[in-house]
Amino acid sequence: MISSFVTLYKMSYDTEHVRNAGDIPGTITGIPTFTELLTNTALASLYTTIRHSSTATAPELVETADVSKKTVYEYLRKLEQAGLITETGHDDGTSVYEAEDFELTLTVRDVEVSITPELVEVVAHEDEYPVINRVLDDHGLVTFALAHDLVNAHADGDITIRQLASLTDLSSGTAYDLVEALYDIHDFGSDSTPTTYTPDDVVDEDRNLRDELFDE
């Protein structure tokens, strides 16, 4: 979506997953398994399950996965070959896996975007929250990653949903749906419900908003 990109490109920002890239090489070499984590919900879910478990074994993963036993084993091999999971021992003759944390930085038109386990966990819940797929498909990875970081800022009380929508060029409805989804996924707050604000709660909302958020 061109309008989204133009809005983001003119922004001065530096969040956890999205940064101004500066002077960098123009060629991007993708790593298939890492990038597949953002397009394959089943693979993202498997990695996320292992990451949240200290004793993940293939039989346990087969029981909880939404894909076939054969696919689970194929995905385990793929994740292990990419260094995303490691065999740490055995339990009754069965391999025990542990997920490795990672940060893969891609460059998209002079914007650095980091793929991390936190983003992968969001993708793992794509089937539960269609807004995740909608934002990725309609607005792209930069907007998705930036929105993710801004939801964190919202949870900290730093911005409103209206501001989040303005900064990402998402509609107000899409921004609210995404905030609600990420609150559930990341378990923000005791009731996992996003706080909303009226216009009177925000003084001069547009005043240097981008500088306040991103030039820290």
125-166: pLDDT as tens digits: 999 999 999 999 999 999 999 999 999 999 999 999 999 999
Range of the domain at 80: 32-99
CATH number at residue 93: 1.10.10.10
pLDDT at 13 (0 to 100): 54
In a domain, residue 67? The reply is yes
pLDDT at 33 (0 to 100): 86
Assign 2 a pLDDT band (cuts: 50, 70, 90).
Answer: very low
pLDDT at 125 (0 to 100): 95
pLDDT at 41 (0 to 100): 95
In a domain, residue 10? The reply is yes
Same domain as 128, residue 48: no
In a domain, residue 168? The reply is yes
pLDDT at 104 (0 to 100): 85
Cα(79)–Cα(145) distance, integer angstroms: 22
In a domain, residue 146? The reply is yes
pLDDT at 74 (0 to 100): 96
Task: Please name the residues in contact with 77: beta carbons below 8 A apart, sequence gap of 6 or more.
Answer: none
Same domain as 205, residue 160: yes
Residue 108 pairs with which residues in a beta bridge? 111
Same domain as 127, residue 183: yes
Assign 27 a pLDDT band (cuts: 50, 70, 90).
Answer: very low
In a domain, residue 199? The reply is yes
Q: Please report which residue ranges of 55-129 form alpha helices under DSSP H.
A: 58-64, 69-81, 117-124
Answer whether residue 122 shows pLDDT above 50: yes
In a domain, residue 72? The reply is yes
Say whether 119 sits in a helix, a strand or coil: helix
Residue-averaged pLDDT of the chain: 79
Total count of domains within the chain:
2
Same domain as 202, residue 95: no
More confident residue, 105 or 194: 105
Same domain as 59, residue 10: no
Same domain as 121, residue 77: no
In a domain, residue 91? The reply is yes
Assign 89 a pLDDT band (cuts: 50, 70, 90).
Answer: confident
pLDDT at 43 (0 to 100): 96
